[in-house]
Amino acid sequence: MHEYSIVQSLLESCEEHARQNEAKKVTKVVVKIGVLSGVEPDLLQTAFDTFKEQTICHDAQFLINVQKIEILCHDCQTKSTLEKHEFSCPKCQSTNLKVTDGEDMYLMSLELD
């Protein structure tokens, strides 16, 4: 389960940001997870809840925003959000696409106290 190592890195990043801002604790952590990132939101939530106890994030609320797949069609230049994992342009049906969002995981924001 690579979610555990992701959470350990995330908690280290939170502690570093808190230290840089002279905060005593982190009250909220918001992440964005792309559906193609390979990260399972439920497992990430469980891992965060498990490992946060002995950190500056021990009382932090953890919010996960799931990012759908966004594409750019090279044929008709249309930007679209895919509702399903059907990789074709909703406008022209082309498969000549570039994925522009939905593949990564980002730390979006922290609330510090």
Q: In angstroms, rounded to a whole number, what is the distance separating the alpha carbons of residues 9 and 45?
A: 14
Q: What is the pLDDT of residues 56-70, one digit of tens each?
A: 999 999 999 999 999
Residues contacting 96, CB < 8 A, separation 6+: 73, 74, 75, 89
pLDDT above 90 (res 85):
no
Q: What is the pLDDT of residues 15-59, one digit of tens each?
A: 999 999 999 999 999 999 999 999 999 999 999 999 999 999 999
Tell whether residue 57 is among the known ligand binding residues: no
Residue in 4, 64, 61 with CA at minimum distance from that of residue 31: 64
Residue 33, pLDDT score: 97
What is the residue extent of each domain of the chain? 3-112
pLDDT band at 1; cut points 50, 70, 90: low
What tokens were used for 26? 């982190």
What is 3-112's CATH topology? hypothetical protein PF0899 fold (3.30.2320)
Check the annotation: does 73 bind a ligand. yes
17 is known to lie in a ligand binding site: no
Contact 69, 28 (CB under 8 A): no
**Residue 82 near residue 69 (C-beta atoms within 8 A):** yes
Residues facing 109 on adjacent strands: 30
Whether the per-residue pLDDT at 75 is higher than 60: the answer is yes
**Rounded CA separation 104/36 (Å):** 7
- 14 carries a ligand binding annotation: no
